[in-house]
Amino acid sequence: MIIVMALEATPEQIQAVVERLRSIGAEAHVSEGQKRTVIGAVGDRGLIQQLPWEAMDGVERAVPVLKEFKFVSREFQAADSVIDVGGVPVGGGHFAMMAGPCAVETRDQLMASAEAVKKAGAVILRGDAFKPRTSPYSFQGLGEEGLRYMGEARELLGMPFIAEVLDPRDVELVSEYADLIRVGTRNMANFTLLREIGRQEKPVLLKRGFTATVDEWLNAAEYIYKEGNHDIIMCERGIRTYEPSTRNTLDISAVAVVKRLSHLPVIVDPSHSGGHRFLVAPLAKAAVAIGADGLLIDVHPAPETARVDGEQALLPDDFAELMDELRKIGNAVGVTI
Amino acid sequence: MIIVMALEATPEQIQAVVERLRSIGAEAHVSEGQKRTVIGAVGDRGLIQQLPWEAMDGVERAVPVLKEFKFVSREFQAADSVIDVGGVPVGGGHFAMMAGPCAVETRDQLMASAEAVKKAGAVILRGDAFKPRTSPYSFQGLGEEGLRYMGEARELLGMPFIAEVLDPRDVELVSEYADLIRVGTRNMANFTLLREIGRQEKPVLLKRGFTATVDEWLNAAEYIYKEGNHDIIMCERGIRTYEPSTRNTLDISAVAVVKRLSHLPVIVDPSHSGGHRFLVAPLAKAAVAIGADGLLIDVHPAPETARVDGEQALLPDDFAELMDELRKIGNAVGVTI
Amino acid sequence: MIIVMALEATPEQIQAVVERLRSIGAEAHVSEGQKRTVIGAVGDRGLIQQLPWEAMDGVERAVPVLKEFKFVSREFQAADSVIDVGGVPVGGGHFAMMAGPCAVETRDQLMASAEAVKKAGAVILRGDAFKPRTSPYSFQGLGEEGLRYMGEARELLGMPFIAEVLDPRDVELVSEYADLIRVGTRNMANFTLLREIGRQEKPVLLKRGFTATVDEWLNAAEYIYKEGNHDIIMCERGIRTYEPSTRNTLDISAVAVVKRLSHLPVIVDPSHSGGHRFLVAPLAKAAVAIGADGLLIDVHPAPETARVDGEQALLPDDFAELMDELRKIGNAVGVTI
Amino acid sequence: MIIVMALEATPEQIQAVVERLRSIGAEAHVSEGQKRTVIGAVGDRGLIQQLPWEAMDGVERAVPVLKEFKFVSREFQAADSVIDVGGVPVGGGHFAMMAGPCAVETRDQLMASAEAVKKAGAVILRGDAFKPRTSPYSFQGLGEEGLRYMGEARELLGMPFIAEVLDPRDVELVSEYADLIRVGTRNMANFTLLREIGRQEKPVLLKRGFTATVDEWLNAAEYIYKEGNHDIIMCERGIRTYEPSTRNTLDISAVAVVKRLSHLPVIVDPSHSGGHRFLVAPLAKAAVAIGADGLLIDVHPAPETARVDGEQALLPDDFAELMDELRKIGNAVGVTI
């Protein structure tokens, strides 16, 4: 931590900071500049970062040098993590295409979509039973019935599935059925939910909050890791900006930033970030080229009847065509899709 | 809903939209422009807004004309709601100062703060027992012990209190103790929690998500209202922008916008929006002048020892001085503080 | 400047940074932490900040401790600047209401507006002859003819006027006519224009770029100051955020932040920030309460015929009523309006 | 234009809107909904969009159906534009790598960089003589001397060059030397400069304002096109968001959005968007995969001595390696690099 003293800070105020650092066993390196004094705090990061330095008299600001997260960082583990999702490896060079309908609506709709994505080459099936909706008047999902249909599709097609959980009380239920638990963008900072998920054994896909910084996102992963669940896949899905032509702005740079800071795999959701069907294929291609470890794509047999997010779902044929294009880009960057 | 057809839309695609509208009992008003056809959909708002119009062939975009929320709107109720918080009215001309420590840390710290804010004129005590923290290594609150201390302070000083709830499983517990339940900014879109809170009987303070639009915030209130709890107070607390000199950017305009769209009271939290002590008084003054129905302010007897957000807490004496200044502005705008 | 070395930085890389600092006459204070080495650079701020520290091997990031601007800072001048605008003082306790039409459209429209704002108590007249418009098909202003009308209004009513300049080649022309030159939000980072304005003698009102940070805004003021023109008034007018219910989000906190960092007066434009007539009065009240040194308000005798921004212009009667309300708030905070 | 009337709009107010539309020769299609009346305005887009509909009594909001720009739209020209830059085609399947130093600092520095990028396969040389800098104390460029060096490099290596112009008075000078004029991100809304550039004959590269929407960016292109210069290349370079780990957030989706809305070529600047050297290669790969028509990359022989933006410049060897990787991705998506 670097503690920058105010211009008018007195020697007593500087001394008080130095002594407070010493009181927690940390060292204080004092630099007196022409205008300001700056104090470098060296010691236990956890202890130092928790104290309200900016509340001390004479302190202008405190600048952290180290990140708050530890276990999910490259410093802690240099090699890429590879996560096993029901037998499918994700990360460390293993690319995983996850696809299916946004929400499970009926058994037939799910099966039509599942067969199509399997045939085109997807390896993990998506389809939610619980949906978080901005309006209380929107379709909220089929609940456990939806999970049962997903289970059936898994048996039939031999592919693991991913499903979202919204409520800490449903974590046990969803983790009994699903192979990969999803934390949605609106719940990335729902620490109660994160802790509960950290205590069960299924791997988890952690979507970035659409207004979270990369650091906050990695701190959210740290919550899960710290509880004992180390099987975490990060998923970039667009952030909220002022630009209205897309639903969110896909922060494609975040893939490279997270891979630099962390050993966890990172995938991209091009469907929810763009919010328009015409953007799915271009964004998916960019994601493969930049080195994402997978994709999460909405595919629906009849998007114009979808109860959730139909405007961004691909048709099965478009998805199959996209898979062909992605394979070529995968070859160019040394990844097998 | 206005459905804007694409430039290249065929007569068959236009007809398909018209028929789909009719199939749900809505009328279609077709306007053929020089370039594009636009279809006005008139009928049941709920039915029309749920369909994925942009997923239909030939549709470029669908623009909603009406808001999704109903019960919390001025259309539904023209008169200001007045919310009773343990005997203290909030809204409709009744201004409520809520103050106290950000988190309950010890019994002594709470009592010192509570006595000070009571003496200066606060009418509702703040102090949290459960804290959502970005880092899993930060102090997470005293839990039920904290609520007990808050209950003691209420008895001693005769002032109701507000406390945050994070977990749907704690809603019953917190609502047994507190007079006003708070939904924090990170949980504004935690619909599971909103529904649970909507089913209990204590009034609720709904903080704006720091990246929520005003419409999303009012939709979150609608979730609570729809479950049966109509006693909702809105709290603006700053939004995330690119500006780094403040922790968040207080969206002061939102007070006027919400008052125009909704009958619910709106208060302002100047402590968490600015994130710096020197901003609390200026922002509080602006909030009173613009017509906020109350304020929520962090006051701590020794901010430099605070375990949460000490850098923005006022000292008791500063708070008392601020109260005097706010009373004068209150008089100027016709509000008794 | 604080230079944070990467985790894997070698002793040679650290030494290279130290030597580079010495080569420009600066001192290097090296702190070796448990994980990282941090180097405090002490010396000539200008020299140190210009070097590309992050381009050196082994450097993770460089954190500036001091701001880049000097002359406009409180460190350079502790007392508030008071700017003389054609005999009207602005800043240091002197509040100035500037009002009039957004654009000069006709002589009659201008005179009707000017008489109304004068009568209600405005002390500086606004009205532009050159307008920057997003679309090339929008009205671009009357040019010099508009400035002549403004000059006539000044003679008739005895009030100085403010007008925008867009083109460095027009600076001489506009400064011949106007008492206060305005740099619009789109030109805040047009350094060519800033320099030209810095070289003439009329005071300048510098609008914040709607996507500029406070630091960038003060750096823009520094450009003008450095050229020799010290008569600068800052004008907050809303920033671009994700919130769609207002045209921009008024960053009311910026008034307090700039006053802390700088000695220059700060006014607020509630018309262009909100973009809706119903927001002008609430935002103006908040601005007076927080301590703004003035306001800039669009007033139009017939807004529904306005060629620019009619949707946010006040009618003369509404403006007069607002003035009465602002006077009361002014009294409450010790300012004469 | 769709005009949405307020809930409480009277029949007279609705009639006033209808009559105003008729008075400008437009048709009014009135839809009466259960709650609100909506009026579709059909007629001359330019006339309709210029009127302040929201300033009329009873109008709640006006939603444009058509974009304001015409000539740069796909509606106006369906086929991709191909721009000739000193003999090098850009767009319509022709990919152009533009590379070189951010700023021309010395003749030697420029030549070293130019030879390296030419050898690695770049086809257009970058290097600025005029630099817009946030701080007035930063290096502002060599001016005409820099342009002369660029001209020498062109002769020597047989490659056209691109250079920025900041001042409308320098447009003639820069266009005499350069093959491609650049409008920088800070000047995208400098309409004075755009108009001047629209009147000369050299092609122009229009960088997106780092806080401009795609629509505003295309309107800026329309300014240039309308003056007679149709040779415009768009350049996405990142937008300002709340995320601090990158200098700006590359809006990769914008490439696909602009290609859908406009016939103009779109290239990407991965150096200035990310602001860090480690991001250049990943972002460049994503840009090729999504279909960008070119790249603009900073290459410097000794970035740690660069006077501008050294922290993001590639070394010549890294650039050559990147070119090899990009060629593979280019092959995968059917583009020759």
pLDDT by residue (tens digit) across B10-31? 999 999 999 999 999 888 888 8
Under 8 Å CB pairs connecting chains A and B tally to 116
Chains with ≥3 CB–CB distances under 8 Å to B: A, C, D
CA A1 – CA D86 distance, rounded (Å): 53
Q: Is D334 exposed, middle or buried (0-12, 13-18, 19+ CB in 10 A)?
A: exposed
Pick the CATH number of A83-333 from 3.30.1360.200, 3.20.20.70, 2.60.40.10, 3.40.50.300: 3.20.20.70
CA A240 – CA A275 distance, rounded (Å): 12
3-state secondary structure D101-152: CCECCCHHHHHHHHHHHHHHCCCEEECECCCCCCCCCCCCCCCHHHHHHHHH
- Are B249 and C244 within 8 A, CB to CB? no
Q: What chain D residue is nearest to A213 in terms of C-alpha separation?
A: D243
Judged against a pLDDT cut of 90, whether residue A34 lies above it is answered with no
8 Å CB contact between A127 and A143: no
Q: What chain A residue is nearest to D278 in terms of C-alpha separation?
A: A256
> How do the domains of chain A map onto residue ranges?
2-63, 83-333
CA D265 – CA D268 distance, rounded (Å): 10
- Per residue of chain C (337 residues), give pLDDT as tens: 889 898 889 999 999 999 999 999 988 888 887 778 888 888 887 788 888 898 899 998 888 877 889 999 998 999 999 999 999 999 999 999 999 999 999 999 999 999 999 999 999 999 999 887 777 777 788 899 999 999 999 999 999 999 999 999 999 999 999 999 999 999 999 999 999 999 999 999 999 999 899 999 999 999 999 999 999 999 999 999 999 999 999 999 999 999 999 999 999 999 999 889 999 999 999 999 999 999 999 999 888 888 877 888 999 999 999 999 999 999 999 999 9
Which residues from chain C sit within 8 angstroms of residue D139, using beta carbons? 50
Pick B52's closest partner by Cβ from A133, A226, A306.
A306
Q: Does A65 contact chain C (CB < 8 Å)?
A: yes
Q: Chain A window 79-118: which residues touch B at a Cβ cutoff of 8 Å?
A: none
Question: Which pLDDT score is estimated for A42?
Answer: 83
Judged against a pLDDT cut of 80, whether residue A135 lies above it is answered with no
pLDDT by residue (tens digit) across D290-318? 999 999 999 998 888 888 778 889 999 99
Give residue for tokens 């058509």.
Answer: D66
- 3-state DSSP: chain A helix, strand, coil percent, rounded to 5? 40, 20, 40
Question: Which pLDDT score is estimated for A319?
Answer: 97
Task: List the beta bridge partners of residue C314.
Answer: C299
CA C239 – CA C253 distance, rounded (Å): 12
Task: Using alpha carbons, select from B93, B99, B83, B120 the residue that is nearest to residue B232.
Answer: B83
Pick D168's closest partner by Cβ from C46, C168, C276.
C168
CA B309 – CA B274 distance, rounded (Å): 11
Mean pLDDT along residues A63-86: 92
Our CA-based measurement puts residue D5 at a distance from the nearest CA of chain C, in whole angstroms, of 14
Residue D108 region by backbone torsions, left for phi larger than 0, else alpha for psi between -120 and 50, else beta: alpha
Which residues from chain B sit within 8 angstroms of residue C241, using beta carbons? 239, 241, 249, 251
Give the CA-trace dihedral at B165, B167, B168, B170, to 10 degrees: -70
Mean pLDDT of chain D, nearest integer: 93
Read off φ and ψ for residue D236, nearest 5 degrees: -80, 135
Q: What chain A residue is nearest to B224 in terms of C-alpha separation?
A: A136
Pick B214's closest partner by Cβ from C243, C278, C285.
C243
Question: Which pLDDT score is estimated for B66?
Answer: 79
Our CA-based measurement puts residue D229 at a distance from the nearest CA of chain B, in whole angstroms, of 26
- Are C213 and B328 within 8 A, CB to CB? no
Our CA-based measurement puts residue A190 at a distance from the nearest CA of chain B, in whole angstroms, of 7
Which of the residues B17, B76, B186, B217 would you substitute to probe the A interface, choosing the one with the greatest number of A C-beta atoms within 10 Å? B186
Pick C2's closest partner by Cβ from A7, A63, A244.
A63
Judged against a pLDDT cut of 80, whether residue A222 lies above it is answered with yes
Q: What is the largest CA-CA distance in chain A?
A: 75
Which residues from chain D sit within 8 angstroms of residue B75, using beta carbons? 7, 35
Tokens (6 digits) for B158: 């005769």
Judged against a pLDDT cut of 80, whether residue D135 lies above it is answered with no
Q: Chain A window 30-49: which residues touch B at a Cβ cutoff of 8 Å?
A: 46, 49
Q: Does D328 contact chain C (CB < 8 Å)?
A: no
Q: How confident is the model at residue D337 (pLDDT cuts 50, 70, 90)?
A: very high
- Are B31 and D38 within 8 A, CB to CB? no
User: How much is the ipTM here?
Assistant: 0.93
Judged against a pLDDT cut of 80, whether residue A35 lies above it is answered with no
Q: What chain C residue is nearest to A2 in terms of C-alpha separation?
A: C2
Q: How confident is the model at residue B47 (pLDDT cuts 50, 70, 90)?
A: confident
Our CA-based measurement puts residue C51 at a distance from the nearest CA of chain D, in whole angstroms, of 7
DSSP string for B79-113: SPP-EEETTEEEBTTB-EEEEE-SB---HHHHHHH
D163 SS3 class: strand
Q: How confident is the model at residue D45 (pLDDT cuts 50, 70, 90)?
A: confident
Pick B38's closest partner by Cβ from D65, D75, D240.
D65
Q: Does A219 contact chain B (CB < 8 Å)?
A: yes
8 Å CB contact between B255 and B266: yes
Pick B304's closest partner by Cβ from A55, A192, A313.
A55
Those residues with Cβ within 8 angstroms of residue D164's Cβ, 6 or more apart along the chain or in another chain = D128, D129, D130, D131, D132, D174, D181, D182, D183, D184
- Are D56 and C135 within 8 A, CB to CB? no
Q: How confident is the model at residue B33 (pLDDT cuts 50, 70, 90)?
A: confident
A266 SS3 class: strand
Which residues from chain D sit within 8 angstroms of residue A331, using beta carbons? 332
Which residues from chain D sit within 8 angstroms of residue B38, using beta carbons? 2, 40, 65
Q: What chain D residue is nearest to A322 in terms of C-alpha separation?
A: D333
Pick the CATH number of A2-63 from 3.40.50.2000, 3.40.1160.10, 3.40.50.300, 3.30.70.1140: 3.30.70.1140
Bridge pairing between strands B37-42 and B27-32 = antiparallel
Q: What is the largest CA-CA distance in chain B?
A: 75
Our CA-based measurement puts residue D158 at a distance from the nearest CA of chain C, in whole angstroms, of 30
Judged against a pLDDT cut of 90, whether residue A50 lies above it is answered with no
Give helix then strand counts, H and E, for chain C. Answer: 11, 14
Which residues from chain C sit within 8 angstroms of residue B273, using beta carbons? 253
Pick C290's closest partner by Cβ from B241, B282, B291.
B282
Q: Where are the beta strands (DSSP E) in chain B?
A: 2-5, 27-32, 37-42, 59-63, 83-85, 88-90, 96-100, 124-126, 161-164, 180-183, 204-207, 232-236, 266-268, 294-298
- Are C38 and A2 within 8 A, CB to CB? yes
Pick B42's closest partner by Cβ from D34, D43, D244.
D34
pLDDT by residue (tens digit) across D253-291? 999 999 999 999 999 999 999 889 999 999 999 999 999
Q: What chain A residue is nearest to C240 in terms of C-alpha separation?
A: A242
pLDDT by residue (tens digit) across D58-109? 998 888 877 889 999 998 999 999 999 999 999 999 999 999 999 999 999 9
Which residues from chain A sit within 8 angstroms of residue D256, using beta carbons? 278-279, 282-283
Mean pLDDT comparison of A5-14, A170-179, D136-145, highest-scoring range: A170-179
- Are C246 and B255 within 8 A, CB to CB? no
C95 SS3 class: coil
Which residues from chain D sit within 8 angstroms of residue C276, using beta carbons? 54
Our CA-based measurement puts residue A171 at a distance from the nearest CA of chain D, in whole angstroms, of 31
Which residues from chain B sit within 8 angstroms of residue C214, using beta carbons? 243, 245
- Are C304 and D57 within 8 A, CB to CB? yes
